[in-house]
Structure 1
C-alpha cells in the first residue's frame, strides 16, 4: 500500500499540510501543532505485549530497527483478516534476499513464483512513498503468482528493509537507477531471459515505473500503474519563489523533516475495516517528509509532466474516481498524451486511493481481475510473436 505525502487534487497542496506548497510560508505551523501531536502518537495494538510495543515504537531511522520490527510482526501481519492474505500460498515458491548493489547499499528483495509451472511473464513491482515490499505487497504478490506470474519486488534504499536513512531520497534518479540495476539482473537470469516483462507501480511507484521506462524505452513489454503520482495539476504547481525557498532550505538541511501531515490512511482507505489494518504496516515511513525527499518528488513529477508524450510502452492505468491522495485527472492526462497506441484507463466509481488494499473486497477483486486479464492478453501476444 502506498501513502505518499501528496495530495494532487482540488487545489490542495502537493504535500498534505505543508505550508511551503500553499504559498503561505511558515504561518500555518502554529495551527498544525495538533496534527503534529496526532502524527507522533505511537501506534496502538491492544492485543500485543509491552515488548512488541517497544519494538514498533522504537526509532526506525536505521535499518536494524526496521528489521527487528518486521521479524517481530511478520506472522501477525500475515494473519490479519484481509482479503489479500486469503490467497493460498501452498503452490508458490517465495524467496527473500539481501543484495549489495553497485553503490554499496544492501537492498532487500523478494520474489514469488508458481511452484509447478513456468511463469507466463515477469511483473516487477515499484512500491509507493513510505512503503515496503513486505506486508500488503505480500498479498498482492500471492495473487499475481497464483495467477501464473513471476512477481518481483524490492525496497528502495532508505525504505523497508533496505539500507539507508528512513524516508530519505537524496536523488530520485539514483533511486531509479537502483531499481533498474536490480530488475536488469533478474531479467538476465536464464530462466527468465525469454519471458515478457512488465512494470507495476503504485502511487509514487508509478512515477518510479515511468522513470524506469523513460530511461529504458525498449526494455519492457508494458506497464501497470495504480493511482500513479505522475504529474502535478496546473493549479497546484508551487510558485517559482516558493520552489526556490524549498531548494535553499533543502540544500542546508536535506534530511530535516517538513511540517506535519495528517494520517493519510483516512484518505486512502475507503473500507473502515481495512483502514484499521493499515496500522500493521509497522515499518512503513509514517513521519513528516524530509526536505530533500520532498524536493526530489516535486522535481520528478514536474519532469514526468513534461515528458508524458514520450511514454511509449503499453499501459494499463487504474484510478479511483474518489481518490484525494493522487488526482484521477493526472491519469486521464497520461492516458491522453502517452504516444503508445495500446493504452487503457480504468476509473472506479467511488473508489479511493488504495485500490488493492483499502477498498471493499468486491472492488479489490474487480481491480485484480482487470489487471490479470490485461496481463494475460499481452503475455499471450508477446509469447506468440
Structure 2
C-alpha cells in the first residue's frame, strides 16, 4: 500500500450500514432523450458530510452497490448514481453506445443536478468500478475542478494487450461498422469474485447483461482508453486507487500506471493480493477491508 495519509478514523466508522434510506427515480439522459434509472442512498440525518456519485461497470447495474451505498449513508454521505444507458433498468440498446462520452455526459449531468440541489457547497467524490473507472477518469480529465476526489475500484485503465494486437484492432475497425452488435467473448462470474454465493446471485440476475462484448462497444472502449492514457499525467485530484492482484478482467498494471503518471500529490494505491475483479463483491474478509478503506479515505478527505 502506498499512502500519503494514515488511517486514524477507524474508531468513528459505522460499519453496520444503518441510518440510511434507498430511493429510486427516473432521470433523463439529455443528450439521448432516454430514461435512466437512478438510485439514491440517503442519510437519515440532515447533516451531510459529502456526496458520492457511483459509476458502475460493464453489464451490471446499481443494484449491486447497496452495501457500499448504505455504508456511506450511515456515515453521513449521500451516495447516488444511475444505471448507464443500455444497462439494468435504464433505456437504450443493451450495452452499446456510439461514444463513451455519452456515459460521461450523463454522469456529469446527474452529478451537477444533485450538487445543485444541496446548495451548501458539499464536496462531491466520483467512484468508478471497471468500465465505470474508465468513465470516471474521462470525466475527471474533462472537468477535474468539479470533484473533490476520485475512488477507483478495479478500474479499466489500459487496454488488454492480448485483445489489442494490430490484427485484432484492424478486424474490429473493419467489422464494427458492418456488424456493430456482433458479440465476442463474455465475462464469467468466476472472474468477477471468488465468493461463490455472489457468483450464484450474479448468474441469476436477470438485469445483468450475460451476453458477449459487442464489436462497436469494444471499439469505443479502445478509443476512450487511448485518449485517457495520453492524459493520465494531467490528473491532479486526490485519488484512492484499489485493485485486486488476481483481476483477470482489468489489468492491475493500469492502476500502477495511473498512480505513477498522475500529478496528484495526494494519491493512495492499494493492491489486494488474493482478490479478483469486483472488490466490493469479494469474499467477506476482503469486502470488509475494502469498504473500510474506502470509508476511511472519504472521512479523511472531508475533515
TM-score (ref. length: structure 1) = 0.71
The match for 1:152 among 70, 80, 87 is: 80
Matches within 5 A, 1:203-218: 203-218=130-145
In the TM superposition, residue 237 of structure 1 has moved relative to its aligned partner by: 6.4
SS at match of 2:40: strand
In the alignment, does 2:119 pair up with 1:170? no
In the TM superposition, residue 94 of structure 1 has moved relative to its aligned partner by: 2.6
Distance 1:193 1:292, change over 3 A: farther
The structure carrying a bigger strand percent of its residues is 2
In the TM superposition, residue 110 of structure 1 has moved relative to its aligned partner by: 1.3
Paired residues of 2:248 and 2:277 also in contact (CA < 8 A): yes
The match for 2:127 among 200, 206, 209 is: 200
Paired residues of 1:87 and 1:139 also in contact (CA < 8 A): no
In the alignment, does 2:176 pair up with 1:247? no
Q: Which residue of the partner structure matches residue 360 of structure 1?
A: 283
Regions of 4+ moved over 4 Å: 86-89
Q: Which residue of the partner structure matches residue 272 of structure 1?
A: 196
Paired residues of 2:51 and 2:79 also in contact (CA < 8 A): yes
**C-alpha distance after superposition, 1:176-222 (max 9, x if no partner):** 11211111111111x25410110000111100111111110211000
In the TM superposition, residue 128 of structure 1 has moved relative to its aligned partner by: 0.2
Report the RMSD for the aligned CA atoms in angstroms. 1.7
Paired residues of 1:122 and 1:192 also in contact (CA < 8 A): no
In the alignment, does 2:155 pair up with 1:232? no
Give ranges in structure 1 of 5+ residues lacking alignment: 1-85, 381-385
Structure showing greater radius of gyration is 1
Q: Which residue of the partner structure matches residue 330 of structure 1?
A: 254
Distance 1:211 1:168, change over 3 A: same
In the TM superposition, residue 243 of structure 1 has moved relative to its aligned partner by: 1.8
In the TM superposition, residue 303 of structure 1 has moved relative to its aligned partner by: 1.6
SS at match of 2:144: coil
Q: Which residue of the partner structure matches residue 299 of structure 2?
A: 376
CA distance in 1, matches of 2:75, 2:182: 41
CA distance in 1, matches of 2:133, 2:17: 28
Q: Which residue of the partner structure matches residue 11 of structure 2?
A: none
**C-alpha distance after superposition, 1:142-200 (max 9, x if no partner):** 111112211011111111111101111221112211211111111111x2541011000
In the TM superposition, residue 374 of structure 1 has moved relative to its aligned partner by: 0.5
The match for 1:342 among 263, 266, 269 is: 266
CA distance in 1, matches of 2:296, 2:176: 44
CA distance in 2, matches of 1:275, 1:99: 30
In the alignment, does 2:146 pair up with 1:223? no
Give ranges in structure 2 of 5+ residues lacking alignment: 1-14
